[in-house]
Structure 1
Amino acid sequence: MSIDALLFDKDGTLFLFEATWESWAHAVLMRLTDDDPERARVIGADIGFDIDSRQFHPASVVIAGTPGEVVAQLRRHVAYTDAALETILNEEAAIAPQVEAVALAPFLTDLRRRGLKIGVATNDAERPARAHLDAAGVTGLFDFISGYDSGHGVKPAPGPCLAFAAATGLAPERVAMVGDSLHDLRAGRAAGMRTIAVLTGIAGADELAPFADIVLDDISHIPDWLDNGQT
C-alpha cells in the first residue's frame, strides 16, 4: 500500500537533538539555580543531563518525556510551582538554538510537490514547537502540528498519530510515522502506521530497528525509500 502522508517527530528528527536540547538543558539549569554550577550539577544528574560535558544520558526524561514529566523531576529540587516551572521550560525551549537535520524548506516543499500530506507530532509544547518551525520558515508547509498540550495525548500513545490521520482523512496504514526514539515508533505502530526511524537523535540503529520498517541516517533519504516502493 502506498504512503500518502508523513508524520514527523520534531526534536532529533526535523532538528538535531543535541544542538537544541543540550543548550536548553544548560540554560534551564543555570536559570533555576541562579548560575550555581554545583546545584545545577545535582539537578542535572536527576534529569539525566551532565552539565560538565553537556550531554544527555540515553534514558534521560528530557529525550522522550513531556515538559510535565520534566517538571515532576525538577520539582524535587526547586521551590517553584509546577506552572512556573513549565513556563520556564517552554520559554527556554522557544529560544533554544535549532539546527535543521537537513535543509527543511526544500525538503518539505518536495514532499508537498509529491502530493504528500505532512504533519508534526512532538512531546514538546505546541507553542515552542511552532516557534521552532516558524524560525525555519516551514510552518505553512504542514497540514497538522501537535504538541503534548494540543489535546491529542502524547507519544508513545497513538493519539497524536490518529489525530493526524483523522485531520488528513487518511487511513493510518497510508501514513508513516518518522522519528528518532522508541516513543515515536511505538506510537506509530500502535496507530497502525508504517514507521521510519532516523539516526539524528540519541538512540542507535540496534535499538530502533525492531520497531521500524526502515532505519535511515536522516530524513533526506525518505524520498528514495518512497520511490523504491517502501522496501
Structure 2
Amino acid sequence: MQIEALLFDKDGTLFDFGKTWNVWCAGVIRHFADGDADRGQAIAKAIGFDLATQTFLPSSLAIAGTNREVAEVIAAQLPNPDVDAVDSYIAHAAARAPLAEAVELAPYLTKLRDHGLKLGVMTNDTEMGARAHLTHTGVYDLFDLVLGSDSGHGAKPDPDPLLAFARHVGIAPERVAMVGDSTHDLIAGRAAGMPTVGVLTGMAGPETLAPYATVVLENIGEIPAWLGL
C-alpha cells in the first residue's frame, strides 16, 4: 500500500476528544440551562452527555455530528428555540475550547511533511473552529487543506469532502489514508475508496472501529511506524 497523503479528522484524532470537549460541553449546557436544572438535564440527555461524570456518552451526537446538528437538538429544549443563535454560540465557544493534543503535533506533522506526505484536515466542526484550533496550536500552516462541514463539500460520512481533498492535492483516493476516531470518519473514507486508519483517542473502542478500518492504532503517533517511515 503506497500512501502519499493523510487526511485527519480533528476532534478525537488530532486532539484527545474527552480532554478537549468534556469541559466545553459542560459549559455549553450551563449557558443554555440558564439556572434551570431540569432544562440542563434535558439538554444533556439530548446531546448524550452525562452530567454526573461530566463526560460524553459513546453514543453522543456531538462526537461525529456537525455543529448544526448539535444546535438543533439543544434549541429543541429551549423555551424560545433559535437554531441559528445556538449554532453561532456553540461555534464561537468551540473555537475557544481548551485543546489537548493527541501527540505533540508540530514536530509530528513536520516529520510527516519531511517524508513528502501531503496533509489535510476534514472535520464536521466548522471551518472557522478548525482554523482557530490549528492556528492556536501553531500547526495550521503544516496542512495543505483544512475543511469543515460548512466548507461547501458536505459532511462525513459522505465521501465528497474527502474526495475534494484528494483532488486538491492531486493524489488518487487509494493513496490517501483517512484517519479518524469515529465510524463517520471511516465510513466516509471507505466510500471514497481510501485506506482507513482508526485511532483510539476518541470515544469509540477498537471493536467499534475495526469493521471499518484498514488498521486501528492507539493514536496518530503510531502512523509513521505503520507506514514504515
Compute the TM-score of the two structures, normalised by the length of structure 2: 0.97
TM superposition shift of 1:76:
1.4
- Is the aligned partner of 1:171 residue 2:172? yes
Could you report, residue by residue, the CA deviation over 1:51-78 in whole angstroms, capped at 9, with x for unpaired residues? 2211111111101110111122112111
**Dislocated runs of 4+, deviation >6 Å:** none
Percent sequence identity over aligned pairs: 54
Structure 1 residue 149 and structure 2 residue 150: aligned? yes
- 8 Å CA contact 1:93–1:128 kept in 2: the answer is yes
Matched, 1:105 2:106: yes
> Matched residue of 2:76: which SS?
coil
Tell me which amino acid in the other structure corresponds to 1:63: I
In 2: Cα distance, 1:218 partner to 1:35 partner? 38
1:71-126 per-residue CA deviation (whole Å, 9 max, x = no partner) reads 22112111241110101110110111000000000000000000000000000001
- Counterpart of 2:223? 222
Let me know the Cα RMSD of the aligned residues: 1.1
The alignment partner of 1:14 has SS state of: coil
Alignment correspondent of 1:208: 209
Whether contact under 8 Å (1:7, 1:178) holds in the other structure is yes
CA distance in 2, matches of 1:69, 1:39: 18
Structure 1: distance between partners of 2:37 and 2:110: 44
1:124 equivalent in alignment to 2:125 = yes
Q: Which runs of 5+ in 2 are unaligned?
A: none
Instruction: Note the residue ranges of structure 1 that are not aligned, 5 or more in a row.
Output: none
Aligned residues: 228
Say yes or no: does 1:21 pair with 2:21: yes
1:36-115 alignment runs, 5 A limit: 36-78=36-78, 79-115=80-116
Deviation at 1:42?
2.1
1:165-196 Cα offsets, whole Å, 9 max, x none, are 00000100010000000000000000000000
The residue type paired with residue 40 of structure 1 is G
**What amino acid does structure 2 have at the position aligned with 1:118?**
L
Distance in 2, Cα, partners of 1:109 & 1:72: 38
Spell out, residue by residue over 1:177-224, the C-alpha distance to the aligned partner (whole angstroms, 9 max, x if none): 000000000000000000000000000001101111111000000000
Residue pair 1:27, 1:92 contacting (<8 A) in 2 also = no
1:17-68 residue CA offsets vs partner (Å, 9 max, x unmatched): 0112111111111111224344212210111011221111111110111011
Deviation of 1:227 (Å): 0.6
Aligned-partner Cα distance in 2 for 1:54–1:44: 10
Q: Find the aligned partners of 1:221 and 1:7 in 2 and give their Cα distance.
A: 15
Q: 2:42 & 2:148 partners in 1: Cα distance?
A: 29
SS state at 1:70 partner: helix
2:30 is matched with 30
Please give the alpha-carbon distance, in whole angstroms, between the structure 2 residues aligned to 1:145 and 1:39: 36
